[in-house]
Amino acid sequence: MIVLDGLPALSAFRLERINRDLERRGLRSRLLEAWNVYFIAGDAGAAEPDRGPLCEVLRATPGAPKSATLWVVPRLGTISPWSSKATDILHGCGFAVRRVEHGVAFLIERVPAPDAPAWQQLVRVLHDPMTQSVLTRLTDAAGLFRDGAPGALGRIALGADAAAALEAANRRLGLALSADEIDYLAARYRELGRDPTDAELMMFAQANSEHCRHKVFNADWTIDGVAQARSLFAMIKHTHARAPQHTLSAYRDNAAIVEGSVGRRFFADPQSGKYGIVEESIPYAIKVETHNHPTAIAPFPGAATGAGGEIRDEGAAGRGGKPKAGLTGFTTSDLRIPELPRPWERERPLPPRLASAFEIMRDGPLGAAAFNNEFGRPCLGGYFRTFEAECRDPTLRRGYDKPIMIAGGLANLRPAHVAKRPLAPGDLVIVLGGPAMLIGLGGGAASSVAGGDSSAELDFASVQRDNAEM
């Protein structure tokens, strides 16, 4: 592994902002310097690449790396979005490298002992525990390139009491299964005459989670003791059933598709290959989705992949749309801006592992805008609002500690691409993409429980990699 120091990682303004944050937390530590560090793993059997050209591409210095207090690197066991792009660039330049990763070195004055509570506060300011790791020895960075062996497929022994065994697995694996789902699984596996695997239960939990299925919106409900005729989702569908005008596709694809106006398009004819102007109607797709729990756990990548998922659904509408413009929205609890307290804000404990409303509004909009911009689609508008309410019970206060993060947008399509072609028996289905590395898998279950009630491991699994180019 080659380690190279790079340019300063933080401006004087950001250094001072971090130092003010440390001071507010009562820490004596002071951040003196921060610089980029690059970790390069060479191709097996290949000679070490020439450091001169490598330093030119990375804007690094060729000497030995400087001493630092600690290094913040991508979470060990993952591949960062930066690495995916930078490794492709190095391969394109002809370097024989397996992978390159990027971290930040910090030089700190008055460092607490690693086993002291002040150390945990210090590193919490300097890194995001969901997506990054902290190293105190530079040699530990070799873990960035360590490949783990695939885990063995596990089976859950149902025994005489299948429901109890499934409930225990539900708690251990963090599946957020409801009681009726556990009863359903117990009955189905009795019919199959075998025990379930952990992979089967995980996939069932994600596909049937509140995050993916929105079961609450289909639930029976009452107002002041009066049963309502329609569920929330049925009410939404009822609007479309009563007034379907101009709607070409709804409730059966990734985004709704609406009739558009007639326009002129310039493109190549697929048969002749000649460019020309075609006048035709231009339907458009509209889409809004939320990415609440991931944004609460890691605001920048959580909001970024919320915008990315919405872009994906526009592009996957029908037989393919062209994303054109986006919007984002955020609803949080009171901001509690450091050094700017407001009269209506009351200090109180916040759910563990969730970012504060201030951190969400500081980093979340930047993440959403960054994904839009990297993809090449403008994010034209948005909103944010805060809300907390006192309750009759003085110990209870309601607010959006788990925020609402909304991503929406528009795309257009060709008329022939509005509907997907139906699959027929015998058709070959090809799955593209990967490796998933379990990132994002688990997000459905983690998003389906109250803030702070899921495990740290499941919270991490709910955060995806914000990589618009890939």
- In the block, tokens 């049925």 appear at 234
> pLDDT digit string (tens) for 215-227?
788 889 999 999 9
39-95 pLDDT, tens digit per residue, is 999 887 788 888 899 999 999 998 899 999 999 999 888 888 889 889 999 999 999
Give tens-digit pLDDT for 3-47: 999 999 999 999 999 999 899 889 999 999 999 999 999 887 788
Task: With a cut of 90, say whether residue 439 has pLDDT above it.
Answer: no
pLDDT higher than 70, residue 451: no
> What predicted TM-score, i.e. pTM, was given to this entire model?
0.79
The CA distance from 267 to 205, in Å, is 44
pLDDT of residue 334: 96
Between the alpha carbon of residue 422 and those of residues 248, 318, 425, 427, the distances in Å are: 16, 11, 10, 10
Give the pLDDT score at 3: 94
CA distance 360 to 336: 12
Give yes or no for a contact between 417 and 320, defined as CB atoms under 8 angstroms apart: yes
* 80 contacts 74 by C-beta, under 8 angstroms: yes
pLDDT tier, 453 (very low <50, low <70, confident <90, very high otherwise)? low
Whole-number Å distance between alpha carbons of 336 and 350: 12
* Residue 414 near residue 406 (C-beta atoms within 8 A): no
- Cα separation, 194 vs 7, whole angstroms: 58
CA distance 29 to 451: 31
pLDDT score at 192: 95
Residue 75: the pLDDT is: 87
- Rounded to whole angstroms, the maximal C-alpha distance in the chain is 76
What span, in angstroms and rounded, lies between the C-alpha atoms of 381 and 328?
A: 7
CB 470 within 8 A of CB 81: yes
CB-hemisphere CA count at 13 Å for 252?
A: 12
Q: How far apart (Å, rounded) are the C-alpha atoms in residues 454 and 126?
A: 24
Distance, CA of 340 to CA of 363 (rounded, Å): 18
Half-sphere exposure of 254 (CA within 13 A, CB side): 21
H/E stretch holding 461 reads helix 456-461
Query: Cβ contacts of residue 375 below 8 Å, gap of 6+?
Result: 308, 311, 323, 468
Which residues make beta-bridge pairs with 233?
none
Amino acid at 109: E
Beta partners for 407?
A: 289, 328
Measuring CA to CA, how many Å separate 186 from each of 83, 159, 180, 317? Answer: 43, 11, 10, 36
Preceding peptide of 435 cis, ω within 30°: yes
Instruction: Give the contacts of 76 (CB within 8 A, at least 6 positions apart).
Output: 133, 143, 144, 146
